Amino acid sequence: MQSWRTWHRPLVLFAASMVVMSVVGAVGVLVDDRVVAGAAIWAKPFKFAVSFVAYALALAWMLTLLTRGRRIGWWAGAVVALACAGEMVIITGQVIRGKRSHFNHATPFDSMLYEAMAATVVVLWAGTLVIALLLLRARIADRASAWAVRSGVLIALVGAGFGFLMAQPSAGQRAAGGLDTADVVGAHSVGVPDGGPSMPLTGWSTTGGDLRVPHFIGMHALQVLPLFLLALILLAPRVARLRDPRVRLRLVLVASGAYAAVVALVTWQALRGQPLSHPDGVTLAAAGLILAATAAGALAALRPHASAPSAPAQNKELVP
């Protein structure tokens, strides 16, 4: 059993700082009544801090699984931690100034800060890509653990990549012209301006599409799929079929496919300018197909195997 003390230290320290920052952000939401782009000004640093805690800790653990390229992995993790920290410094600094951080070109200084933040996102994505490639080469003994980790990090890369779509001018901004002198270039929402009616807590648009939905869901595959396997392992002593590592592998494959399908569905929904909270019939039909396919896959994965082991299987790769 691996101790958390063996996890990547810079990422763990960054996660700890984000725990503190999430508390600061929560207090800010409660006591600071300023609003930017239709949302409480401290909502963005709060949400980013919470998300970064989960993201950093997942990568910090995954780096302990590397069997080759450990030094490269350590440096990639350190680069990710620094890039994330840089992004949070800019976001928080803009909150203190009472300005929006994303897509802000109102002044040369705001534009410089946004471009610097965009650069940190590119560095973060590239560092995560390096870690993903190293994990693809790692010799992880348990195949279910290997699939959970690799699928999680690859889907997370896709989710993170949606940030690049948000940085592009929206259809309304292109139609208005004057992009070289516009105060805001880029948007979260599709089909409606940013800052309109939104869902509580998440801030996702309720009147149009929102690219933050696939961005969020995709990035957190990094935690969800390994945690799904961990749940299977913990249930194995009580559920006989889960004691078979082949059954767990099949269930992880089904979960990975279902998760990727959900990311594709919410991306398609957002790009059509449709809010997550108001799906149309076509979206619901596609969701039903994904649900039916997942249920059928899970039932097939749980089929009994003649040579299934009777004793609980130990998984030293996944459990930290």
HEC profile of 216-267: HHHHCHHHHHHHHHHHHHHHCCCCHHHHCHHHHHHHHHHHHHHHHHHHHHHH
* Burial grade of 78 (CB within 10 A; 0-12, 13-18, 19 or more): middle
DSSP 36: E
Q: What percent of the chain has pLDDT over 70?
A: 94
Q: Which two tokens stand for residue 217?
A: 């869901």
- Express each pLDDT in 200-237 by its tens digit: 888 899 999 999 999 999 999 999 999 999 999 999 99
pLDDT higher than 90, residue 114: yes
- Express each pLDDT in 150-168 by its tens digit: 999 999 999 999 988 898 8
pLDDT for 154 equals: 95
CA distances from 16 to 57, 63, 79, 172 (A): 9, 17, 17, 40
Q: In whole angstroms, give the CA distance from residue 15 to residue 52.
A: 7
pLDDT for 169 equals: 86
In total, the chain counts a number of residues equal to 320
- Express each pLDDT in 40-79 by its tens digit: 999 999 999 999 999 999 999 999 999 899 999 999 999 9
pLDDT band at 305 (very low <50, low <70, confident <90, very high): low
Mean pLDDT of 92-115: 93
Which position has the token pair 């003649």?
306
pLDDT for 313 equals: 46
pLDDT for 1 equals: 45
pLDDT for 37 equals: 82
pLDDT band at 316 (very low <50, low <70, confident <90, very high): very low
pLDDT for 288 equals: 98
| Mean pLDDT, the chain, whole residue set | 91
pLDDT higher than 70, residue 312: no
pLDDT for 5 equals: 79
Q: HSE on the CB side for 173, CA within 13 Å?
A: 20
Which position has the token pair 């390229």?
69
